[in-house]
Structure 1
């Protein structure tokens, strides 16, 4: 084996080890696992959430969040693009009209440099998992 071949092989092995170290085996990987961690399962896709009020919300990943709308239920919002500011957001809001949330709205996240709008792609109901 030449020195260059050994060097390239070593570099490839180091890269594989580094990438393997970046994944955390304790964290949920799939959306289903992330929802289950919060006690939910994904329900049906819906067109809108009527007369909602945000009673609480949780970050799932840069493209998904769940929120409680009080007595009307719990919902998952899927964003049309990654919203990295969502992870560190303390509060969120929606750009809804007439107290109805649809896929034509956006999630508004406050950042140190101002507000960022993250467009919504879809909405789903959530069902609580049995304990």
Structure 2
């Protein structure tokens, strides 16, 4: 009887330890691109299906699941990706695919070359948001 009781206590302890490990792992996740943008003072605007007549003048890495694209002096977009694209953090240049001329949409992708001679990776766009830049001094 004592052996059965002891085994039940051991099983309960292992179960609780497993739950605690799961909770701590979930709280140590890296922040998402949306969380980073908000933390940096960007105001999330409306979700858009497309970016028309854009002229990309650079880009800003936020997290493995998204980036900021300044498409004109007055418009910046938060581009969230369908899957994590860890290569974004270590690349200096990106490319963009477009299914329709002068329009970037959810059917397109961010092209990443992790290093010279490396294999290109296409990171497909999931959602696009218009964001408002933080005011000077608020950054």
Deviations 1:73-124 (A, max 9, x none): 1001111111111111111111013111010000001123221111111111
The answer for unaligned runs of 5 or more in structure 1 is none
Q: 2:33, 2:66 within 8 Å by CA — same for their partners in 1?
A: no
Give me the TM-score of the superposition, normalised by structure 1: 0.73
Distance apart, 1:29 and its partner CA? 6.7
Structure with the greater alpha carbon radius of gyration:
2
Change (3 A) 1:29 1:66: closer
Give 1 or 2: higher strand fraction. Answer: 1
SS of the counterpart of 1:34?
helix
Deviations 1:20-57 (A, max 9, x none): 6xx78xx86783x4113433121110011111111121
Q: Counterpart in 2 of 1:114?
A: 119
Give me the TM-score of the superposition, normalised by structure 2: 0.69
How many pairs does the alignment contain? 129
Q: Counterpart in 1 of 2:94?
A: 92
Aligned-residue CA RMSD in angstroms? Answer: 3.1
Q: Out of 11, 35, 38, which is 1:36 matched to?
A: 38
